[in-house]
Amino acid sequence: MARKHREEDHENHERWMVSYADFITLLFAFFVVMYAISSVNTGKYKVLSDALGSAFGRAEPVIKSSDAVSISTQERQFSEQRRMLAIRREKDQMTDMARDILKALAPLVRQDKVRVTQTSRGINVEISASVLFASGDARLTPLSENALKAVAAVLRNDKHAIQVEGHTDNVPIKNSAFPSNWELSAVRAGSVVRLFADNGIDQGRMIAVGHGSNQPVDSNDSAEGRARNRRVEVMILTGVPDVGKDVPLAARGK
């Protein structure tokens, strides 16, 4: 009787390991399911379902394909909602910035020397070259420096990339400083970028581009058209593509 009693005590002492092993198996299965849900894929769900069904002796799949497709659809919908929210936030931020620039350049806007437009690319600030430079020159005038410093104050603490583009009319230029309109437009863009950098805008955010006379916005057949084509455009580029269609923020002549 003493021997039998000792054997029963030994058997009871080992029994907890069975429950422990079952618990570990279930815990492992739980984390496998959570991992699979974190990366929605119908094929993975089917493999996982079959494997779990076999492990637990069930013929019916643990996770049905219809459930996997439903979760996948919800995941896509949630992703699209997040994308639309990001676009809305970006558009609102760009609109606020455009209004601040309009306010800073209000006198020039009223004189039709500056146009501010919000586009799918971001914010376009079109400044007449007559405001910025003397004819055939790339040095900024004192009046233009004050206007550009006001723009720099709006953009200084922002993070968006800035592309400054120089444009000319189609009248050829050739002198010791500028052999063609290419050089003139590029150096004018560079002058604006340099002033922005001197007023606290990170140089890594900016790029200067010279287009010469290749991108006119008006006809070069009239003096008014050529004056419109001589310009510098400051593009504040959106961080989220396709934020919307072109929407003018300042009517011409106002």
In order of their start, the domains of the chain are 2-81 (no CATH), 87-248 (3.30.1330.60)
Q: What is the pLDDT of residue 87?
A: 82
pTM: 0.65
Q: What is the pLDDT of residue 243?
A: 46
Q: From CA 154, how far away is CA 77, in angstroms rounded? A: 36
Q: Is 181 exposed, middle or buried (0-12, 13-18, 19+ CB in 10 A)?
A: buried
Q: Which two tokens stand for residue 178?
A: 């500028």
From the first residue on, what is the mean pLDDT of each consecutive set of 10 residues in the chain (254 residues)? 52 63 77 64 59 57 56 71 82 91 93 91 94 93 92 94 96 90 96 97 96 95 95 92 55 47
Q: What is the pLDDT of residue 85?
A: 82
Residues 230, 168: contact at Cβ < 8 Å?
yes
Q: What is the pLDDT of residue 253?
A: 46
